Amino acid sequence: MGNQVVLFVGTFILLITGLLLGYVLSQLVLGFLGFNLLTLFGTLSLILIFGTLYYVLFWQLRRDQSQSFENTIPNQIEEYVPGDDHSYLKNTLIARLDGDIATVERLLEQAKQNYPGMPENWYCERVLDDLERDRR
């Protein structure tokens, strides 16, 4: 809840700052606002505020996403039992796709449709090899 409030307030301030910056720049371009030291520092401060808020908001969003990713992956890694290659390969595949479990399941189902009758760990190896090939 606290992060959502920070994101909401930050987004609101970012919107207001962006509007002010757009207004000041349009007035400068149209010639209704004289260019002097005060308008220069005002415009630079608006740009600085806008850039800082933009960076902080997206840093916060990225941090939230990485925390949710960290909370997702360890639960699946705990399921790994030594000798269970399928769980290990599936966890490797999930980690390779940055925790996108829906995509992992979709790719595994697609591999099962294309190559029926193979062992489960073969499908994981196949998808991992395909991903590695595609990234090159």
| Global pTM value | 0.39
Plot region of 71 (φ>0 → left; ψ -120 to 50 → alpha; else → beta): alpha
CB contact set of 47 (below 8 Å; sequence gap of 6+): 21
Q: In 10 A of CB 10, how many CB atoms?
A: 17
pLDDT in tens, 15-52: 888 888 888 888 888 888 887 888 888 888 888 888 88
For the chain, the average pLDDT equals 78
Kindly tell me if the per-residue pLDDT of 103 is higher than 60.
Answer: yes
| Position 81 pLDDT exceeds 50 | no
The pLDDT value given to residue 82: 47
- pLDDT given at position 20: 83
Residue with tokens 């090899």: 129
pLDDT at 86 (0 to 100): 65
pLDDT at 1: 57
Cα–Cα separations (whole angstroms), residue 16 to 49, 56, 130? 11, 16, 46
Report residue 72's pLDDT band, with 50, 70 and 90 as the boundaries: low
Q: Which residues are CB-neighbours of 122 under 8 A, at least 6 positions away? A: 115
* 87 vs 3, more confident: 87
Inform me whether the pLDDT recorded for 85 exceeds 50.
yes
Instruction: Give me the long-range contacts of 23-29 (CB less than 8 A, separation at least 24).
Output: none
What is the rounded average pLDDT of the residues 109-136?
A: 87
